[in-house]
Structure 1
Amino acid sequence: MKLSVKQLVVYLFLVAVGGGGGVFGSRYFLPQHHSFQELENVTVALPPEAVVPYPIDGATNSTKSDNVNFIATAVQKVGSAVVRINATRKVANPIFGAFDNSMLKRFFGEDEEPIPSERIERGTGSGFILSANGQLLTNAHVVDNTDTVQVTLKDGRTFDGKVVGIDTITDVAVVKIAADNLPTVKLGNSQNLIPGQWAIAIGNPLGLDNTVTIGIISATDRTSAQVGVPDKRVSFIQTDAAINPGNSGGPLLNTQGEVIGINTAIRTDAQGLGFAIPIETAARIAHELFTKGKAEHPFSGIEMAELSPAKKQELNQKKQLNIQLDVSFAIKGIVANSPAQKAGLLIGDVIQKINGKPIKSLAQAQKIIEFSTVGDILTIEVHRNGKTQIFKIRSGTYPHK
């Protein structure tokens, strides 16, 4: 094969700098926050030839009745409503302008840029159909800041998707496609999950469409801080069902084939740990996004911390407090000019009740506040310096950065 001088120069230049184009890596659309350093985004980037297409006719292998277990039955109820989402966006080329292009311009001319200033990134995630008229649910990081979104159904049909709304605080997004009479999922209940229950994940890991994995519910009510994403407002479901790059936005099912969560993230420093957004949170946010185009989150301005004996001692010393109760958490920060500060709450206060409900965990407190409405009055009972005090807070709107 003969190369022109121009082709040879560009080829040698790209080899010398390690290349600058191509698809994005496993951290595609990963927000560059310190809080995400321990997480690997589960959106995967693949070359087009590596994506395995759905069967055009949607046919599945026939199975004998003695081979159909509860997993297969659950998957058959939902599988046709799980979709692949391909997204593209333009990003700045990291090698553009990094080197002196004067030599290259001798071959290409002064008006021609040998290295493009932008490149196209492509990513693949998952989603599922909520309504027969084409309303879809997925993760925000799958479609955030995208230029195009393409949705592929299990039967092979492909549609252009319109991103109706994105909520980065919960990592939930909704997409609409122009179609009717679509298969839909059935939403379940995640409020009464017990560790040890079966959990089934469906998605498109590594571009392998409609892949099914099975595991158990490992834990519930994992706080955002525990998972490593303190800027989020979610009490996560933890599962050991295999969740890999490309599973983002796919459903987590119970044994009845009902959706109990959205698979969203895996830790890079561990194996067998996956996390899902509870379906109640996702459905509530999806409804707001479809009806209003945005989601509002109640804001109190309270930052709480779990208290080990060492943490309690550190908080007492640094803040000159006297936390003596055998408690597991306390207020460690109050946002300036927030509803909590205006109501009179202080660092070191130990929250005992919210709206009359005894608080036994950070996740419980977070959930009560999150499921309230902007403008609601929260009655908070705290223990301070040996005394019980009650404060009333009118929740504000969570400040978007």
Structure 2
Amino acid sequence: MISKSPAMARTLVMAAILAIVPMVSELGHAQAAAPSYGVPDFTDLVEKTSPAVVNIRTTERVRQGGSQDDDMAEFFRRFFGVPMPGAPAPRRGQPPQGQGQGQGQGQGEEMNRGVGSGFIISQDGYVMTNTHVVADADTIYVTLPDKREFKAKLIGSDKRTDVALIKIEATGLPKLPLGDSDKVRAGEWVLAIGSPFGLDNSVTAGIVSAKGRDTGDYLPFIQTDVAVNPGNSGGPLINLRGEVIGINSQIYSRSGGYMGISFAIPIDEAMRVVEQLKATGKVTRGRIAVAIGEVTKEVADSLGLGRARGALVGSVEPGGPAERAGVEPGDIILKFNGRDIERASDLPRMVGDTKPGSRVPMQVWRKGATRELTITVVELEQDNKPKARASSSPRDDGGTAAKPNALGLIVNDLNEARLKELKIKSGVEVDTVDGPALRAGIRPGDIILRLGDTDVTSARQFNDMVRALDKNRLAALFVRRGDATQVLTLRPGSNASR
């Protein structure tokens, strides 16, 4: 055993301390360099933005009466902002009966319909809100945080996007700057200001949960966990820079109140609508007259597309823009006007944003290859002809197979009259369904147009193609039912009925 003097021991201790100090220093620097994820202080942001957030109150004229039903209806209007269950809807344009308060004979009494929120976007009094906040109102009142109240004029509203623009006669108003909703990132802090349950200028905060939530035809909603309740509708969703990135519009709820998920209309989408409302009082959208569906991974694999993308054409309206451009049921639209289509819901937004009368390029996937088409977009409201539907007629029994094939199908040829009636060039009609086809949902009377990349021309040819299918791979079957065509993927089997 080696003994050490006190002096030597002290020397060793000091050496150890000197060795540890740089390590502690480096650790401290590393901790200082780590990003901080603390909750931000919203006080200055709220003080800056809240003066431009308004309360919106709507009223309607109703006939006077002292019955119990009238009292109950007023209770529902005042406390819940909705009509009494079972009550008939008031008829617009018919003068209410009774005498209003200071309005003269025959004007009716002014009753509250509901409350909501909005925000000022210009110093001369333009206010954005939701369509459902101001819909069917006889009078719209806007109350500013400084307690000034104005009657507002409805400039225009759009039910499809739930965006409305109203105007109050005032100048020098505070306004909110608009942000870029395309730059919104999941996880960033946001806050909502509004009037939940009529409680003016209430502030709630949270984070962006997701982007591009498809809950409507024309809107990729911003999903947040910000507490939003009835009365918040139409209020702004604000980022940490004080910019509006969305309009609070919907909540997911099983109780009628907030349950942790809320949705906001992206401000970029809303402004496209507002610009049209301000200019003309209405929104004009494009239309190409197709019904579409999602492209699943199975469909993409079976058609050699590589990955699931695009919009699958289920039906093409006879005489519509798509038919004139050469679009066929079963096509997958990959690009519209130079923009990629990742999900089917992308296409209606792209088409809707296109000016009617425009000729735009469109790329489709058909029979294992891309095709370039040019389509003329028409106005949505003007080109709404009823879709033709195929009617039933006696089937031609020629070519019937003796037993179900490997897909579980017995099919019949179609005669010329039936093909002309269905407005198709070729196909076979399903007579009997079993096995894989039954599990896939095919029904007797369905029309099979294509197997993979090959058009079906006869029952014999179809059965020959089925016999040649690889039982280890999915087969894509183009099936028409009524006026819609769907692509079903089936795996050939040997368990069809004999």
Give RMSD over aligned pairs. 2.9
Residue 212 in structure 1 maps to residue 197 in structure 2? no
- Bigger shift: residues 72-81 or 254-263: 72-81
Q: Is the 8 A contact 1:188 1:258 kept in 2?
A: yes
Q: What residue number does 2:92 align with? A: none
Write the letter of the residue equivalent to 2:267: I
Residue 71 in structure 1 maps to residue 42 in structure 2? yes
Q: What residue number does 2:246 align with? A: 261
Report the Cα offset of residue 385 of structure 1: 1.6
How many pairs are equivalent?
A: 301
Which residue, out of 223, 233, 237, partners 1:248? 233
Q: What residue number does 1:327 align with? A: 308
Q: Is the 8 A contact 1:89 1:148 kept in 2?
A: yes
Q: Distance in 2 between matches of 1:197 and 1:341?
A: 45
Q: Is the 8 A contact 2:113 2:137 kept in 1?
A: no
Q: Distance in 2 between matches of 1:70 and 1:253?
A: 14
In structure 2, relative to structure 1, the CA distance for the partners of 1:275 and 1:334 (3 Å cut) is: farther
Report the Cα offset of residue 382 of structure 1: 0.8
Q: Distance in 2 between matches of 1:286 and 1:357?
A: 23
Q: Is the 8 A contact 1:323 1:348 kept in 2?
A: no
- Bigger shift: residues 180-189 or 293-302: 293-302
Q: What residue number does 2:189 align with? A: 198
Residue 296 in structure 1 maps to residue 284 in structure 2? yes
Of the two structures, which has the highest relative contact order with CA contacts closer than 8 Å and spacing of 6 or more?
1
Q: Is the 8 A contact 1:221 1:363 kept in 2?
A: no
Q: Distance in 1 between matches of 2:193 and 2:316?
A: 40
Q: Distance in 2 between matches of 1:363 and 1:95?
A: 36
Q: Is the 8 A contact 1:124 1:142 kept in 2?
A: yes
Q: Is the 8 A contact 1:93 1:119 kept in 2?
A: no
Q: Distance in 1 between matches of 2:201 and 2:123?
A: 19
Q: What residue number does 1:176 align with? A: 167
The DSSP-based 3-state class of the residue aligned with 1:346 is: coil
Residue 88 in structure 1 maps to residue 59 in structure 2? yes
Q: What residue number does 1:235 align with? A: 220
Write the letter of the residue equivalent to 1:276: A
Q: Distance in 2 between matches of 1:236 and 1:86?
A: 25
Matches within 5 A, 1:4-153: 69-89=40-60, 120=111, 122-153=113-144
Q: Distance in 2 between matches of 1:345 and 1:75?
A: 52
Q: Distance in 2 between matches of 1:169 and 1:336?
A: 25
Q: Is the 8 A contact 1:70 1:255 kept in 2?
A: no
Q: Distance in 2 between matches of 1:70 and 1:372?
A: 42
Which residue, out of 337, 341, 365, partners 1:355? 337
Report the Cα offset of residue 211 of structure 1: 1.1
Give the fraction of aligned pairs with identical amino acids, expressed as a percent. Answer: 40
Report the Cα offset of residue 254 of structure 1: 0.9
Q: Distance in 2 between matches of 1:77 and 1:178?
A: 23
Residue 369 in structure 1 maps to residue 351 in structure 2? yes
In structure 2, relative to structure 1, the CA distance for the partners of 1:356 and 1:135 (3 Å cut) is: closer
Report the Cα offset of residue 69 of structure 1: 4.7
Q: Distance in 1 between matches of 2:378 and 2:41?
A: 45
Write the letter of the residue equivalent to 1:339: P
Residue 286 in structure 1 maps to residue 274 in structure 2? yes
- Bigger shift: residues 137-146 or 86-95: 86-95
Q: Distance in 2 between matches of 1:286 and 1:398?
A: 18
Residue 305 in structure 1 maps to residue 293 in structure 2? yes
In structure 2, relative to structure 1, the CA distance for the partners of 1:258 and 1:335 (3 Å cut) is: farther
Report the Cα offset of residue 95 of structure 1: 6.6
The DSSP-based 3-state class of the residue aligned with 2:230 is: coil
Q: Distance in 1 between matches of 2:175 and 2:87?
A: 45
- Bigger shift: residues 325-334 or 383-392: 325-334
The DSSP-based 3-state class of the residue aligned with 2:245 is: strand
Q: Distance in 2 between matches of 1:271 and 1:94?
A: 24
What TM-score does the superposition give when structure 2 sets the normalisation length?
A: 0.56
Report the Cα offset of residue 304 of structure 1: 2.7
Report the Cα offset of residue 298 of structure 1: 1.6
The DSSP-based 3-state class of the residue aligned with 1:362 is: coil
Write the letter of the residue equivalent to 1:130: I
Q: What residue number does 2:478 align with? A: none
Q: Is the 8 A contact 1:298 1:372 kept in 2?
A: yes
The DSSP-based 3-state class of the residue aligned with 1:275 is: strand
Write the letter of the residue equivalent to 1:236: F
Q: What residue number does 1:23 align with? A: none
Unpaired runs of at least 5, structure 2:
1-38, 63-82, 89-107, 385-498
> Deviation string for 1:154-199 (max 9, x for gaps)?
0101111111111112111111111111111101100122211112
Write the letter of the residue equivalent to 1:240: D
Q: Is the 8 A contact 2:57 2:112 kept in 1?
A: no
